[in-house]
Amino acid sequence: MTVEPVAPARRHTLYFLDQIRSFSPVFLDTEVDMTHVLAHRAARREHTGRKLSLVTYIVAAGGRALAAHPEANASIRGWLRPVVARHPQVNGKVTFDRTMGGQRVVLATVVPDVAAGDLDAIQDRIEQFRDLDPDTAPALAPIRKLQGLPVPLGRLLAWRAARPPERRALLLGTFAVTSLGHRPVDGFHSVGGTTVTLGVGRVLDRPVARDGRVEVAPVLRLSLAFDHRVIDGAEAADVLAEIRRVLEEPWPQPIAAIPSTESPSTAAAFTESTSAESLDDVRPTVPETVGGQA
């Protein structure tokens, strides 16, 4: 047996986990028929040449659902005098499996204002963060600095950075999406530091019942973890049902791709999910996409 200090590149994960110890997570899951999503994705690629991540669709659906359920677009803090902050904007946190300082880590970025479900805007932000070099990108300089501090000081600064509710919504998002769909994982549950966290598994062909007939359809296992201190199970179930409804309904017809003019977020979250997650083509050595879809 060997004992060694935690790698500096993983310290921000420890600081994040410290902050969510007070969470009271409860877990739900459902199955989503992804027929319309995959059809829209293929049509978009044919018409515009742009490949949309399946996680982009999940973020879009989550943004629309939380806009329709503002009670879930909230956060809580305090123990003696707990208060709930209702956030005016829906921000989606997305996690990435990256290598930083020679260490495999989970990094995250926040896609702001996703209530409208703009697929191109969401994909823009995902691609911008995906293409950053974790060891040199200015947007990740705060994380690198945090990793280099003595642990007690790092814990304190991480806690102070995310304490104000408005700052927390920028750093952590108001809901989180984390995916293991690029691996043979059907489903998993994760607490992402937000009242609602969506866990995305792989898409597999499964038998489904339609109009009294059994057919084969692409099905996604989608989980939702919610903080019971903020909302109850019935509200969380309504949020999950709304996300499923959005994903299963026909999506608008493809339009020409809009050129991106955004720069990478300078408020890259120092936060992590509780397991190593990734998105489509995040790791150059692992070309699989979410759900194994090309």
Give a yes or no: residue 257 inside a domain: yes
Above 50 in pLDDT, residue 200?
yes
Give a yes or no: residue 3 inside a domain: no
Above 80 in pLDDT, residue 10?
yes
Above 60 in pLDDT, residue 294?
no
Contacts of 222 (CB under 8 A, 6+ apart): 29, 30, 31, 32, 58, 187, 198, 199, 200, 201, 240, 243, 244
Minimum mean pLDDT range among 7-11, 17-21, 205-209, 288-292 = 288-292
Give a yes or no: residue 206 inside a domain: yes
Q: What is the count of structural domains for the chain?
A: 1
Give a yes or no: residue 25 inside a domain: yes
Give a yes or no: residue 1 inside a domain: no
What's the predicted TM-score (pTM) here? 0.84
Above 90 in pLDDT, residue 267?
no
Range(s) of the domain holding residue 95: 8-292
Write the CATH number for 274: 3.30.559.10
Residue 236: predicted pLDDT: 98
Give a yes or no: residue 2 inside a domain: no
DSSP 230-268: T--HHHHHHHHHHHHHHHHSPPPPP-PPPPP-PPPPSS-
Residue 253: predicted pLDDT: 65
Give a yes or no: residue 218 inside a domain: yes
Minimum mean pLDDT range among 7-11, 62-66, 97-101, 260-264 = 260-264
Residue 280: predicted pLDDT: 44
If one counts every other C-beta atom within 10 angstroms of the C-beta of residue 113, the result is 14
Alpha-carbon Rg of the chain, whole angstroms?
19
Average pLDDT, integer, range 156-178:
91
Average pLDDT, integer, range 80-90:
94
pLDDT digits (tens, 9 = 90+) for 206-220: 999 888 999 999 999
Give a yes or no: residue 48 inside a domain: yes
Above 60 in pLDDT, residue 44?
yes
Average pLDDT, integer, range 224-251:
97
DSSP 2-64: ---PPPGGGHHHHHHHHHTTT--EEEEEEEEE-HHHHHHHHHHHHHH-PPPPHHHHHHHHHHH
Average pLDDT, integer, range 17-22:
88
Minimum mean pLDDT range among 41-45, 149-153, 187-191 = 187-191
Determine what percent of the chain is predicted with pLDDT higher than 70: 86
Above 50 in pLDDT, residue 151?
yes
Above 90 in pLDDT, residue 293?
no
H/E segment holding residue 205 = strand 196-210
Residue 144: predicted pLDDT: 94
